[in-house]
Chains A and B, each alone.
Chain A
Amino acid sequence: MKVWPIFKKEMRLYFTSPVAWVVLAVFLAIMGFFFWSIFDYFGRLSMQAAMQPMMGRDLNVTDGVMRPLFSNFSVILLLITPLLTMRLFSEERRSGTIELLLTYPVRDGAVLVGKYLAALALYGVMLALTLLYPAIVLYFARLEWGPLATGYLGLLLLGGTFLAVGILASSVTENQIIASITAFGILLALWIMGWAAESVGGTWGRVISSVSILEHFDTFSRGILDTKDVVYYLNAIALALFLTLRSLEARRWKG
C-alpha cells in the first residue's frame, strides 16, 4: 500500500494553500471563545452557589463545563470539517490531475486512505492545539481528567466521521463549493434526526436516534466510554469510505 506518499503530498498541499491556515485560525479562535465564556458562566454560577449552599450540591465541572463545551465543539466541527475535505477529490477532478494519479501504480484504496489520513491528521493537530485551553484552566482550577479524555476521544471519532462524509461528498463532484455544501447537508440531516427521534418516540424514535450522529457523542462528553458508541463511529467511517471507493470506481467507468 502506497499510502505514505499520498499522505505526504496531501499534507504538503494543505499547508501551501491558505485554506488550512484560515480554518485552523478560525477554529482555534472560536473554541477559545467558547471555552472562555463557559468558564466565565460556570465561575459566576459557582460564586452564587457558594452564597446559597442548597444549590451548590448539584454543581460539578463535568456537567457544568465539559458537556456544554463539547456540545459547542461539535457544532463548530459540523461547520468546519467540510472545508477540510472539499478539496481532496474535487480539485483533482477539476484540474484533471486525477487522470495521472489513477494511472500511477497505486490502488484507489491507498489513494483514498492517504487522503483521509491527511485530513484526519490535520484535524488531529487542530484538536491538539485546543488542549491549550484545558491547560489554562488547570492552572486556576481542578479539572476532571476522565471526562476530558473521553470527550477528546469522542471529538476525534465524531470529527473522523464528519471527515469521511466530507471526502465522500468531494468524490462525487468536481466543484469544491458543491462538495462542502453537500457534506454539510448530509451531516446536518444526520444531526437533525436526533431531534426528530424525540418527537417520533417509540421504536422508530429509538431507531432514528441510534442513527443520529450526535446522539452517540453525548456519552463521551459525560465521561463515559461505551464501546457501542465507538463502534458506531468506526462503522460510519468505514461505510463512508467504502461508498467513496465505489464512487471513484463509478467515475472511472463514466470517463
Chain B
Amino acid sequence: MIDVSNLTKHYGPVTAIRDVSFSVAPGEIVGFLGPNGAGKSTTMRILSCFLPATSGTARVAGYDVFKDSMEVRRRIGYLPENVPLYGEMRVAPYLDFVAEVKGVPRAERTRRVAEAMERCLVTEVQHRLIATLSKGYRQRVGLAQAIVNDPHVLILDEPTIGLDPRQITEIRSLIKSLAGDHTVILSTHILPEVSMLCGGVIIINRGSVVAQGTIDRLVDEFFPTSRVLVQVAVPAAAVREGLAAVPGVVAVHEQGVPGDGTWLVESPRGRDLRGEIFQLAAQRKWPLVELRRVGATLEEVFIRIVAGEDTAAPGPGRDGEGAA
C-alpha cells in the first residue's frame, strides 16, 4: 500500500532524510519512530504529496506521489504534526468543506461528516469556533478531517499528542478500529502506544531507516539474550564475580544505583538461569531480595538502536569515519 524507495530530501543545505526505503502492507498499522529531528514529519509530508522529494520514489495506494499526486490525494487522509485548522470556522461547516473538497458526493456529505464527528468524539462541539477549542479537541477535529472521506491510507503525524489519558484511549481504539480496511502509518514518541496499536515499526534516526519489522522480531534482533534481574543485600565485588562464574552467563551488568546490589544477568536465549542463581545465593548465604526474568520492551530496543547508531555509525556528513 505504501512503497518508499531511496527517498532523499534536502532542505537547502540540510539533509532531512537520506535513502529511506520501507513498505507497508495493506490493512497494516505501522508505527514510525525516531528521535526529534529524525525526519519522520518530512517523510510523511512527502507521502501526503505536500513536499516533493529531492530524489527517490514513493508510491501510495499504487500511485506515485509525484506523478499521480491527484490519485494519491484522493485516497489518503493526512493529519499534520501541528494540526493546522481554520480557527474562524465552526467545526461542522469546516468538516463539510473538507468533505466537499475531497470529493464526497453531496448526497452523502451530511452523513459522512456526522459519522466522522461521532467517531472522533467531536459531535458535542460541532457548533463551536475551532479557535475556541482546547488542544485535545483540535486534535480530534484534525483526525475527523483526515477520515471524513473514508480514505484507504491514513498518514497521522503524532495523532495522540496533547490528549488526556481517557481521550488517548478513545483515539487509540478509533485508530485500532481502522485497521483491516485501512492502512495506517503513524508517528509517535509514546512507545507503549506502538506496542498496543501497531503490527510493525519503522525506526528512523538522523534521516535513515535503522530498523524495521514486527516488534517481536526487533526485540529478538537487538536483545539476543535472556535476562534475569538479581538483587542481593551484600557488597558488590564478590557478587559480580560469583554471578559471572555461573555456567551459561554471558554478561553481568550493574543496575540502578551502584552499590545497591542489583544486577542484570544475561544468558543465551531460552536458557533460564534462575535456578542456578538461587543455588549460588543459597550456598554463599547471600540474602536474595529479588530474582526475576526481564523481557525487553520496545523502549529498550529503541534506545539501544538509536544509542548504538549514535556511537557506532557515522552521522550525516561524517561518512568517511565509519570505515576508519
> A12-B89, A103-B73 known; A96 and B97 CB under 8 Å?
no
Check if B246 is an interface residue, CB within 8 A of chain A: no
**A100 B84 Cβ-Cβ under 8 A:** yes
* Segment among B98-106, B187-195, B196-204 that sits at the interface with chain A: B98-106
Within 8 A of A (CB), among B56-104: 70, 73-74, 76, 78, 80, 82, 84-89, 93, 97-98, 100-103
Nearest-CB distance from A233 to chain B (Å)?
Answer: 30
Contacts of A6 in B (CB 8 A): 101
Alpha-carbon gap, A39 to B103, bound state (A): 52
In the complex, chain B residues whose CB is within 8 Å of the CB of A106:
101
Given known pairs A95-B84, A95-B87, A97-B86, the reply for A102 and B101 (CB within 8 Å) is no
Across chains A and B, which 6 residue pairs bring their CB atoms closest together, nearest first? A96-B84, A105-B73, A5-B100, A97-B84, A105-B74, A103-B48
B204 to chain A, nearest CB (A): 18
Report whether B11 and A100 are in contact in the complex, using a CB–CB cutoff of 8 Å.
no
Q: Is A52 an interface residue (CB 8 A)?
A: no
B174 contacts the other chain (CB 8 A): no
Provided the pairs A12-B89, A96-B82 are in contact, do residues A105 and B103 lie with their beta carbons within 8 angstroms?
Answer: yes
In chain A, positions 52-108 with a C-beta closer than 8 Å to chain B are: 95-107
10 A-B pairs with C-beta separation under 8 A? A4-B100, A12-B89, A13-B86, A16-B88, A16-B89, A100-B145, A105-B102, A254-B11, A255-B11, A255-B45
Q: Report the minimal beta-carbon distance from A253 to chain B, rounded to whole angstroms.
A: 6
Q: Is A44 an interface residue (CB 8 A)?
A: no
Interface size class of B (residues with CB under 8 A): 20 to 34
Tell me whether A203 is interfacial, beta carbon within 8 Å. Answer: no
Known: A5-B97, A96-B80, A105-B73. A252 touches B88 (CB 8 A): no
**A212-255: which residues lie under 8 A (CB-CB) from chain B?**
252-255
How far apart sit A240 and B73, CA to CA, in the bound complex (Å)?
27
Q: Mark A1-43, 1 if CB is under 8 A from B, else 0.
A: 0101110110011001100000000000000000000000000
Interfacial residues, chain A to chain B (CB-CB below 8 A) = 2, 4-6, 8-9, 12-13, 16-17, 95-107, 252-255
B52 within 8 Å of A by Cβ? yes
Which residues of A sit under 8 angstroms from B100, Cβ to Cβ?
2, 4-5
Q: Which of B9, B73, B76, B85 contacts A97 (CB 8 A)?
A: B85
Residues of chain A lying within 8 A (CB to CB) of residue B103: 2, 105
**Across-interface contacts of B85 in A (CB, < 8 A):** 97, 100
Task: Indicate if the CB atoms of B97 and A9 lie closer than 8 Å.
Answer: yes
Q: Which of B51, B80, B82, B101 contacts A255 (CB 8 A)?
A: B51
Q: Once the chains are docked, how many angstroms separate the CA of A12 from the CA of B104?
A: 20
Neighbouring A residues of B145 by C-beta, 8 Å: 100
A105, B70: Cβ atoms under 8 Å?
A: yes
Decide yes or no whether B49 CB sits under 8 A from chain A.
yes
| Residues on B with beta carbons closer than 8 Å to the beta carbon of A5 | 97, 100-101
B86 surroundings in chain A (CB, below 8 A): 9, 13, 95, 97
Known: A105-B103, A255-B11. A99 touches B45 (CB 8 A): yes
Which listed residue, B76, B93, B97, touches A103 by the CB 8 Å rule?
B76
Kindly list 8 other residue pairs between chains A and B, CB separation below 8 angstroms, not including A95-B86, A100-B85.
A2-B103, A6-B101, A8-B97, A99-B80, A104-B73, A105-B74, A106-B101, A253-B52
Q: CA separation between A228 and B84, bound complex, in Å?
A: 45
Q: B222 an interface residue at 8 Å Cβ cutoff?
A: no
Q: Which residue of chain B has the shortest Cβ distance to A13 in the bound complex?
A: B88
A2, A9, A17, A106: which has the most chain B beta carbons within 10 Å?
A9
Given contacts A13-B86, A96-B82, A100-B84, contact A105 B48 (CB under 8 A): no
> Shortest distance in angstroms between A153's beta carbon and chain B's nearest beta carbon?
33
Distance between Cα atoms of A121 and B50 in the complex (Å): 29
